[in-house]
Amino acid sequence: MKISRIAQLGAVAAVAALTLAGCAANEGTTGGDASEAPESMLAGEIAGGGASSQEVAVNAWVAGFQTANPDVTITYDPAGSGAGRESFQAGAFPFAGSDRAFEVEEIEAGPFDGCVEGTGIIELPTYISPIAVIFHIEGVDALNLSPEVIAGLFAGTITNWNDPAIAALNEGVELPDLAVTPVHRADDSGTTENFTDYLFQAAGDVWTYEPDGVWPGTPVAGEAAQGTSGVVSAVAGGNGTIGYADASRAAEEGLATAAVQVGDEFVEYSPEAAAAIVDASPFAEGREEGDLAIELDRTSTEAGVYPIVLVSYMIACQEYVDTEAAPIVKGFLEYLASAEGQDAAAAAAGNAPISDTLRDQVNAAIELIVAE
């Protein structure tokens, strides 16, 4: 029997709270309200990178953290999840953002050059956001789409916007005789892996490809674009285009988005609907302490749940070869996991703040970082 993540977290909340209480005075970090924090002793520069989906949120986190820690400089390269994981594993980045956790096999194979040999990594689900199905069809502002239709549009089995399968879901909408141009990520992307995981789970009869961060090749049709920004630009600049992107970026550009069929209703994306499916999903099995990978259930039919969601992770070492980077990484992670940090990201990016229960678990994982 699978136990929901919230039930699992409830069992450890008291322990985590005690652990954090003992560490509340950790010097030079800003885990609470930055305006009330003592004068920071942190100084130095670190550079991270990875998921472009997190870019807006990371910018907000960096701004807030650097305000409280004026002698710290943090940069983030939104080159994509795959690039972020590779750079972190090679020791080029002391932290990475990724729209998927490392696979257990990847962790076991190692090595992680920036981490002290024999120590583990932590993976923190600190960014939760719906993935919007975005489209641009002149004269059409809204569509209802089922999992099977979405899969068909991206698999190339539905090639025209006036297809009867689309029309049946959108009574009263004048659909044009217009070719479908699906747009997908060209880079190795956690957003792609989350999106294809949804297609595979919810419409496996149509989308027969295993979930992957790399888009399938021929015969899957479509136009490739680099990064979230590239997909958004390609969809916005065409007519008859459809793509997928972190919802915050879709909102920024004012793109039309589809309501997705869940059971008998069509659900529009929202932070609340994204958070609902995460709270109901269990942790992945076979993980070490501090590795908080979540196994999302894309087939839920609960009311108000939006199933196309990404949980983006911050990844760090438990013990660093570069001991000077460790306290900065730890402090930054404490800030972004705090209520203040989560609210700052939500205001900037429109993502769903993590729950208080999940925050307890995240903070307990951050305490595993050796930063003396």
Q: How many CB atoms lie within 10 A of CB 114?
A: 22
What global pTM score does this model have?
0.73
- Residues of each domain in the chain carrying CATH 3.40.190.10: 44-130+280-297+309-368, 134-275
pLDDT tens for 141-169 read 999 999 999 999 999 999 999 999 999 99
pLDDT for residue 115 is more than 70 = yes
Q: Residue 3 above 50 pLDDT?
A: no
pLDDT tens-digit series, residues 61-106: 999 999 999 999 999 999 989 999 999 999 999 999 998 999 999 9
Please say whether the structural domain 134-275 has been given the CATH code 3.40.190.10: yes
> What is residue 297's predicted lDDT score, i.e. its pLDDT?
87
At residue 189, the pLDDT reads 85
Q: Which fold has domain 44-130+280-297+309-368?
A: D-Maltodextrin-Binding Protein; domain 2 (3.40.190)
What gap in Å lies between CA 174 and CA 71, rounded to an integer? 57
How do 181-185 and 265-267 pair as beta strands? unpaired
